[in-house]
Amino acid sequence: MPATPSPVVRVSHLSKRFGAHTVVQEVSFELAAGETLVLLGPSGCGKTTLLKMLNRLIEPDSGTVEINGQNVLRQQPETLRRGIGYVIQQVGLLPHYTVAENVAVVPRLLRHAPAAIAARTTALLTRLHLPPERYANQYPHQLSGGQQQRVGLARALAADPPIILLDEPFGALDPLTRSSIRREFRELEELRNKTMVMVTHDVTEAFELADRILLLEAGQVQQLGTPRELLFQPANDFVRRFFAAERLALQLRTLTLGDVFGDIPQLNRLDNNPGSSDTFSIQTTVNEALEALTSADDASSALPFTVAELMAAFGQALQREEDAWKR
């Protein structure tokens, strides 16, 4: 059997107290390369404190953090942080530096060659929908909140760190901008192979971006698992209640056409049809298919079922999930 690759991040029994208040309690998890873990939970549950212990912005009282098998306490915090991208809600761009200069901060510290830095900056700004000829020489105050957030992301990616920590990266944006940046973020080639830990208190965001979710309450792990596990196999009443208000929306986003219709021939045809394979597949979520079927354009003509058929199949799939869990 091939050896299991060792985790990129390993957190063991991590705890932190502020005065008499235990903010993070005995938290453990491991992250494989390329995995996205979302830290989710109510305000004040310890998400940010946990995140900041990964790059030593906060030192733990007990427990260990290992990155690539090395205890972070044995590394210089500055060296450690240069190898880990960090994106925060407040963005923290340097106001008297241009966009390009802000993006280049870490590569300059790392003494990358100027030509390489310029090429990387241009590529990243282009990829993040900030055409460099227009934005490279602008200052942060000349940008919208969404654009500043993109520059913050470009800066975190500039030195190509394998690990990225994100603390409410879209928190300051209005809901529409937020959801469109989130879509871009999901599709960004630069992020495909990164190992990421992201803090949010937005349940939809967590479900859209996470491979696994770590749900915290009062510093304690309530459940660690895939979005689907948290939704369909809640570990306790807290987990169940946490998702109750948005349960239907999350179920629609979690179950796919493959889940609800099984392996039916029409769906296989979808996969094999070059005209539609980019748009719909058995991995398309019920939510995406529903949006297409109810939209004004004719994207839905590629779908071999109606809204009513989709909803009926969705209802049956939910029942199957619940029955499987009861067994």
Ligand X SMILES: Nc1ncnc2c1ncn2[C@@H]1O[C@H](COP(=O)(O)OP(=O)(O)OP(=O)(O)O)[C@@H](O)[C@H]1O
Residues that bind ligand X (CB under 6 A): 18, 23, 41, 43-49, 201
Minimum distance of ligand X from residue 77's CB (angstroms): 17
The DSSP secondary-structure symbol of 6 reads: P
What is the rounded CA–CA span in Å between residue 152 and residue 75? Answer: 25
Minimum distance of ligand X from residue 199's CB (angstroms): 6
Among candidate residues 105, 103, 107, 100, the one with its CA nearest the CA of residue 138: 100
Instruction: Give the pair of three-digit tokens for residue 312.
Output: 């009926």
Query: For residues 44 and 114, which CB has a smaller minimum distance to ligand X in the complex?
Result: 44
Minimum distance of ligand X from residue 237's CB (angstroms): 20
Query: For residues 219 and 227, which CB has a smaller minimum distance to ligand X in the complex?
Result: 219
Minimum distance of ligand X from residue 246's CB (angstroms): 17
Query: For residues 43 and 294, which CB has a smaller minimum distance to ligand X in the complex?
Result: 43
DSSP characters over 144-156 = -HHHHHHHHHHHH
Query: For residues 44 and 131, which CB has a smaller minimum distance to ligand X in the complex?
Result: 44
Contact 150, 130 (CB under 8 A): yes
Minimum distance of ligand X from residue 167's CB (angstroms): 8
Query: For residues 47 and 178, which CB has a smaller minimum distance to ligand X in the complex?
Result: 47
What is the rounded CA–CA span in Å between residue 188 and residue 125? Answer: 12
* Identity of the residue numbered 68: N
Q: How wide is the angle at C-alpha 216 spanned by C-alphas 326 and 170, nearest 5°? A: 110
Minimum distance of ligand X from residue 207's CB (angstroms): 17
Which residues partner with 164 through β-bridges? 85, 196
H helix intervals, 57-136: 77-82, 99-103, 105-109, 114-127, 132-135
Strands of the chain (E only): list them: 9-18, 21-31, 36-40, 62-67, 70-71, 84-88, 163-167, 195-200, 212-217, 220-225
Minimum distance of ligand X from residue 304's CB (angstroms): 43
Query: For residues 47 and 120, which CB has a smaller minimum distance to ligand X in the complex?
Result: 47
What is the rounded CA–CA span in Å between residue 61 and residue 322? Answer: 41
Query: For residues 80 and 198, which CB has a smaller minimum distance to ligand X in the complex?
Result: 198
